[in-house]
Structure 1
């Protein structure tokens, strides 16, 4: 393997889509920085990738729900004299159920991880990319980003932020050397549904694999697409739903998602 000499940072790399991104990026010769809370799982993956691909793999254990999470990660990067050429903001989790029954602190943590840490880490890494003349950013959103989703209110709204934030940056940096991609997977075989508390949160969709999602993402990133939907039968969910009137869309969405209110755990497990 000829090493690219580039370094990729992947958040939420302890499993699922994040781990598959790490494997794919290592396979193309990128050195890696893996970020998540689960140190043992990160170290196991890091050892595997060092052995299989001969790349440098650093592990940073950090809670991305903390208010100073992005600054903490950047301090670790500086201490290890690392600069980031590819940023994969994959860390995130979801909740489902009646909004008033969901744990308030967990809802706040969800927004801190899915929205605040993602935006803050991007803001801190972009200047270095610009100074070096280029870079790549993948922000993991969801097909839930395309419409309001009753009983997934916080999760879907957060992913809408990720989609629009990413598209705005894609436009800003399109001619400045930085590729920005919003990745919008449909239901995927990951621990996400264990955290939510029910596979019913897949809303009847066919489940895809993390490897297929990552392959779709890297192909789209190479073409500098602003966003891509990934997974079986995701095109309709992303593109065929009406967009207006917005209140009608919200009512239509409720007809699809209301079964989740009874199936979901009101207090999702920690990630």
Structure 2
């Protein structure tokens, strides 16, 4: 079991907690009695969520307004977490860009890699020694079905999520028998603010409405999977099909298909 019971001293840390899956993860863990540390850039939203959860679930909720794509702000948070009893870490923050790589903003692409990949590693390294010493802890990493295959016009996102996917599953195997677990959440289409942040509203039209999963459903399955120390959680039938195609289908075929599909995004 990789979801330690809540205690007054321990904290569950959720990054990207101001909306979407991160917000839903915070709600799911609060309902289970976990005190929280909510991390995201938008302090106003974090404070509103903290107030709601502290009142409805009677748990202590702390707010850390941090831009985890910024190395200085990330290092500050990592140093704090290394000194605290973190029982659960949900590495959930991330964003995507769409378009020809040569036409995208290089600074934004670097930010994407810092947030989707480097921040995942940095925060995991910060809390893991303490978890191993206590022989208890759970790490949830939000990857993506996009990390299972090449994605032209979505290159940095797919590559960063390939790191997240592989990092999580590698750590899952590495931690066997330690009392600490790591679970990968690899969603497909989830109804969040994701496409609005990516400035790619066309993505919503690529998949029929019934095939989308709610953030609440994805989060609940993720927390249940973490509690059971599952290696990978893939919410929704469409995401499962995407996973099978990405992992076992011809990669030479996936590239041209996705290149055609993502041409329709903008």
| Cα deviation, residue 102, structure 1 | 0.9
Using the TM superposition, give the Cα deviation of residue 243 of structure 1 relative to its aligned residue in structure 2, in angstroms: 4.1
User: What pairs with 1:17-56 in structure 2 (closer than 5 Å)?
Assistant: 17-56=21-60
Work out which of the residue numbers 53, 71, 95 in structure 2 matches 1:67. Answer: 71
Q: Which runs of 5+ in 1 are unaligned?
A: 265-271
**1:183 matched residue in structure 2:** 185
Structure 1 contact 69–117 (Cα < 8 Å) conserved: no
Kindly provide the CA deviation profile for residues 34-68 of structure 1, in whole angstroms up to 9, marking residues without a partner as x: 00110000000000011011111110111101123
**Where does residue 223 of structure 2 map in the other structure?**
218
Report the CA distance between 1:17 and its aligned residue: 0.3
Q: Which runs of 5+ in 2 are unaligned?
A: none
Q: How does 1:257-268 map onto structure 2 within 5 Å? A: 257-264=259-266
Deviation at 1:234, TM superposition (A): 1.4
CA contact (8 A) 1:12 1:90 kept: yes
Please, what TM-score do these two structures have when normalized by structure 2? 0.91
Aligned partner of 2:126 in structure 1 is 124
TM-superposed CA distance for 1:254, in Å, is 2.8
**In 2, Cα distance between equivalents of 1:47 and 1:114:** 28
Matched, 1:7 2:11: yes
| Residues 87, 131 of structure 2: 8 Å contact kept | yes
Task: Report if aligned partners of 2:20, 2:193 keep a CA contact under 8 Å in 1.
Answer: yes
In the other structure, the counterpart of 1:207 is 212
Q: In structure 2, the residue corresponding to 1:185 is in which secondary structure?
A: coil
Report the CA distance between 1:216 and its aligned residue. 1.3
Mapped to 2, the partners of 1:12 and 1:158 lie a distance apart of 16
Structure 1 partner of 2:100: 98
Find the aligned partners of 1:253 and 1:76 in 2 and give their Cα distance.
42
Paired residue for 1:238? 243
Contact 1:208 1:232 (8 Å CA) reproduced: no
State the Cα distance separating 1:259 from its structure 2 match: 3.9
The alignment status of 1:58 with 2:62, answered yes or no, reads: yes
How does 1:158-197 map onto structure 2 within 5 Å? 158-197=160-199
Number of aligned residues: 257
1:103 shift after superposition: 0.8
Query: Normalization by structure 1: what TM-score?
Result: 0.89
User: Secondary structure, in 3 states, of the residue corresponding to 1:49?
Assistant: helix
Query: What is the match of residue 258 of structure 2?
Result: 256
Tell me the CA shift for residue 263 of structure 1: 2.9
Q: In structure 1, how many angstroms separate the alpha carbons of the residues matched to 2:260 and 2:230? A: 33
Contact 1:96 1:261 in 2 (8 A): no
Shift of 1:260: 2.5
